[in-house]
Structure 1
Amino acid sequence: MDSCYEIDGMIPVVDPTAFVHSNAILIGDVIIGPGCYIGPAASLRGDFGRIVVQEGANVQDTCVVHGFPGVETVIGPDGHIGHGAVIHGAQIGRNVLVGMNAVVMDRAEIGESSIIGAAAFVPEGKKIPARSLAVGTPARILRELTDQEIDWKSRGTAEYQQLTRRSMASMKKVQPLTEIEANRPCYEDSSYQTLGQTK
């Protein structure tokens, strides 16, 4: 990858089964686990505290992950960090979804299988129990999630785990075409749709 940097002798670690886009930035004490997806323009700065992205998690486009000295920032297994989110010194539990442009601050703890709504702000030290839907600024717990909602989240994360494999197998830098080719195919419909929709 093009944007991986050592600092103070600390070099990022990326599992061979993880996909890190060439435009993502990894600095210092960053550990990317098996099957993870790190999207374009994501910035994971392990220049103060350690950053750990555990198995099957994804950190999408333009996300920022950082922390203070002595504080470990962890995204747990099957974690799902939506476009533009900021995770700073927080503990993101197993199977959590952090929505687009949400901010989760230092020493916050997000319990397993919770969803943090898009553009929510989780303040420093806030603890969100497992299976919670938290929304707003500052984030408040709206209710407990249903099994259907957790299943919806898990299917979305499975799509990103498949994207990891697709990206490793076929993504490459190319020049754009100058016109649309005849019979240009479309991607197949996904089983992961907006919550509440069915096929």
Structure 2
Amino acid sequence: MTCYAIDGLIPVVHPSSYVHPTAVLIGDVIIGPDCYIGPLASLRGDFGRIRIEAGANVQDSCVVHGFPDSETVVETRGHIGHGAVLHGCIIRHDALVGMNAVVMDEAEVGAYSIVAACAFVRAGLKLPEKSLIGGLPAKVMRALSEEEIAWKLTGTQAYQDLTLRCHASMVEVQPLREVEADRPVLQVQGPATLQSQRRGS
């Protein structure tokens, strides 16, 4: 990983967490246990504190930042999808922020809620728990079903498993020049399987 101290503050990463080597951590960043921080994620604690709690994930190309004296928090088992932007907000435990969504300053996403891909959560908006949130600007669309909440939890568990897989087997290599004759197919049971089952029902 690429880490920088600023004004004497050094990022903190629990040893059980996995931070991809291309991710960048700056300053007042605190990453708890069993977290996954994906490729090209930028966590800039150069103004306000960033806190990623146990079992959470911040995926590829996410940006996490905040204004001076703010704190940006992803609580336990929070799930931040590819390309999302969090700025000075709180993502409560077991909530999901979808791909390319933006959550602005002093906004709060309730526990177990799902923010849809590409949604824009305006500054200061307090969103309830167990809700589907979407739109530009974002609003509560409906309550989530227990099946949808379970689907989210399965996806977060897949990233917790990915943290272990990365520690165990991810290494930098040179690409092969051609496909091996006996190349195996990657076998991973995860949220994509459940999602395809839901689409078929």
TM-score, reference length from structure 2: 0.96
1:127-149 Cα deviation digits (max 9, x unpaired): 11000100010001000100000
State the distance in 2 between where 1:123 and 1:81 align. 17
1:111-160 Cα deviation digits (max 9, x unpaired): 10000000000000001100010001000100010000000000000000
Number of aligned residue pairs: 198
CA-based RMSD: 1.3
Per the TM alignment, residue 182 of structure 1 is displaced from its structure 2 partner at its CA by 1.4
Equivalent residue of 2:191, what SS?
Answer: coil
- Structure 1: unaligned runs, 5 residues or longer: none
Task: Look up the match of 1:167.
Answer: 166
Q: How does 1:28-177 map to 2 (within 5 A)?
A: 28-177=27-176
State the distance in 1 between where 2:4 and 2:190 align. 37
Equivalent residue of 1:165, what SS?
Answer: helix
Per the TM alignment, residue 183 of structure 1 is displaced from its structure 2 partner at its CA by 1.4
State the distance in 2 between where 1:16 and 1:67 align. 25
Alignment-mate amino acid for residue 80 of structure 1: H
Per the TM alignment, residue 188 of structure 1 is displaced from its structure 2 partner at its CA by 1.6
> How has the CA–CA distance of structure 1 residues 106 and 156 changed in structure 2, closer, same or farther, with 3 Å as cutoff?
same
TM-score, reference length from structure 1: 0.97
Question: Does 2:21 correspond to 1:22?
Answer: yes
Q: Percent identity?
A: 59
State the distance in 2 between where 1:100 and 1:10 align. 30
Equivalent residue of 1:46, what SS?
Answer: strand
Question: Does 2:186 correspond to 1:187?
Answer: yes
Equivalent residue of 2:30, what SS?
Answer: strand
Ranges of 4+ aligned residues in structure 1 off by more than 6 Å: none
